[in-house]
Structure 1
């Protein structure tokens, strides 16, 4: 693709399982746009804002970061802040695609929800989910058809990340049993960092009443389009106006791979992951369009936790890669070296 007609940008926003202590914290007080967005979130969170900020910046958080009251709101805030950072460079994405809580962050970036309203919705959601029975999630290097014989009434497919990357969700005991059986059958399994069985019927009771909260806030059509990982299609007016669509997202399975296929079926893109780690980048690199080199992947942050400098270097590298792909970058990490907080 020539510099005159660069690949359109699509932002990928990760969700549960990508969190880690001090994720993106190396940008706080260093990148002004990122810092302002995080501070806006902590302010909107009210009394919860202080403890959330402290646990986010701590090497050893007081509340475990995998707990729903930490992972979900902080992933939402970091995804949103990183997305805003990319927008501040003058990049205008053609589409957004979020995974799990990343879909709500993408909806804010696209203008569906007001950021303050969305912060209240996220905190209401995690308050409800914290009351759900404990459970977990298991990543299996297998197709949905291959894991089907190992599912019980309690263990279900929670996410389809790739043709051979399926996430199971359910109560700890049955999930461990399914994992042992899958391992004995030769499948590679790995627990996802989560203390809740996201995207499973276990969370259905905890979501009761959430639709009323979503019904009470204004919603607008997105610009640019948001490709939903719950419908594997762009959000429609009907989706956006349906409070139960948003309220049931912690229960509904995530169809990330079908959604990615739908996005790339519209044409090749420069896929930019804006969130901690590089999990979605790794998945996207398996797509035929990326493997043949017609679509490209850029990650904004390092693949694993590191010192503050690694976050800053990764962001500067990403800006350079986006510029090299033909997009004008008005500013990036190299020009933001003066601490602001």
Structure 2
């Protein structure tokens, strides 16, 4: 087998990437993906059956944007896509996940097994169920420009910058009604925002209590150092052995800002890669395409699953097959 032209890095998206019909065309058609999804649903017990029904059905009982649906399903799809890629012979040089996607990366890297992951996803859903109504706003401004616009009353309520996805791609999160009021103030100040599909806030002080509850869910879940390097979105650096073995490190990310751009920038400063989005849509590959290393052609971005269009899943299987053929060219025959 020829050597890959560029090492592969898998990107695992988080809340906001979910949409009706995401990846459903692969279920039953891609054996490794199907087996991984079925194993996860089985490990989730009765809730796994409800998750599966809401994922595959046209009329979910719980909206997909709710944390109790989006989070475990995004985890499962990311993990299952990663498993399918490994089965094809892909050997990633690193993994990078956004929010719950970082937990999918950790599971694929062997920090915890799938049974442990199912327990953690259940604990994460229980923890988030204790939070009130909230959400996230994406703004096309730099974090340094957005921070001063979050006044003291909003900060006191737990509103904060939740993610930095690019130089001018910032997400702010918090509880309602403060988040909606801030959106109005930002609009009046010339800052356009859009809602991230989420019924709860993430990665802000408003969910510190949920992060503490989530940490308790790690009791009895064995942790191990990653077998594949994980680029942390908490630090922008590779996850250390001590961090990998710390429940507080993984649980704390629920309330910490996601430094996706810093992690991506540090990764691409180390070398040239083929970045593959292991999840639905383009939520990570789109900002990655704006990085200088990708614009120059030194690194390449591949998104196997199509972005959502009118809530229809059509084209997912064809897109996956086309991406796998492209990957064969990018990283070497037989991968």
- Which TM class, normalised by the smaller chain length? over 0.9
Equivalent residue number for residue 312 of structure 1? 317
The answer for the alignment partner of 1:115 in structure 2 is: 114
- Check whether the contact 2:276–2:304 (CA below 8 A) recurs between aligned residues: yes
Contact preservation (8 Å) 2:173, 2:203? yes
Superposition deviation, residue 188 in structure 1: 2.1
CA contact (8 A) 2:8 2:331 kept: no
Trace 1:195-274 onto structure 2 (pairs within 5 A): 195-274=199-278
- 1:24 is aligned to 23
Alignment of 1:296 onto 2:293: no
Are 2:13 and 1:14 equivalent residues in the alignment? Answer: yes
C-alpha distance in 1, partners of 2:331/2:195?
A: 39
In 1, the alpha carbon distance for the partners of 2:100 and 2:333 equals: 30
Going from structure 1 to structure 2, the CA distance change for 1:239 and 1:4 (only over 3 Å counts) comes to closer
Contact kept in structure 2, 1:277 and 1:302, CA below 8 Å: yes
Contact 1:133–1:202 (Cα < 8 Å) also in 2 = no
TM-score, normalization by structure 1: 0.93
- Residues 146-155 or 244-253, more deviating: 146-155
Q: Deviations over 1:114-146 (max 9, x none)?
A: 111111111111111111111110000000111
Q: CA deviation at 1:4?
A: 4.5
- Return the offset for 1:207: 2.6
CA deviation after TM superposition for structure 1 residue 36, in Å:
0.3
Could you list the per-position Cα deviations for residues 248-307 of structure 1 after superposition, in whole angstroms to 9, with x for gaps in the alignment?
121111000000011111101000001011110101001000010110000010011465
* Number of residue pairs matched by the alignment: 328
Structure 1 window deviating more from structure 2 (310-319 vs 202-211): it is 202-211
The 3-state SS of whatever aligns with 1:54 is helix
Contact 1:91/1:329 (CA < 8 Å) preserved in 2?
no
Instruction: Select between 244-253 and 33-42 the one with higher mean Cα deviation.
Output: 244-253
Task: Specify the alignment match of 2:185 in structure 1.
Answer: 181
Structure 1 residue 150: deviation in Å? 1.8
Q: Give the 3-state SS of the residue equivalent to 1:226 in structure 2.
A: coil
Q: Identify the match of residue 329 of structure 2 among 324, 328, 334.
A: 324
Q: Secondary structure at the match of 2:70?
A: helix
Question: 1:213 & 1:64 partners in 2: Cα distance?
Answer: 24
In the TM superposition, what is the alpha-carbon distance from 1:224 to its structure 2 partner?
1.4
Per-residue CA deviation, residues 63-116 of structure 1 (Å, 9 max, x unaligned), is: 111111101001100111111111111110000000000000000111111111
Structure 2 equivalent of residue 334 of structure 1: none
RMSD over aligned CA atoms reads 1.4
Unpaired runs of at least 5, structure 2: none
Contact 1:12/1:274 (CA < 8 Å) preserved in 2?
yes
> In the aligned structure 1, how far is the partner of 2:230 from the partner of 2:6?
18
List aligned pairs for 1:143-154, cutoff 5 A. 143-151=142-150, 152-153=154-155, 154=157
Give the TM-score, by structure 2 length: 0.95
Name the SS of the counterpart of 1:214 in structure 2: coil
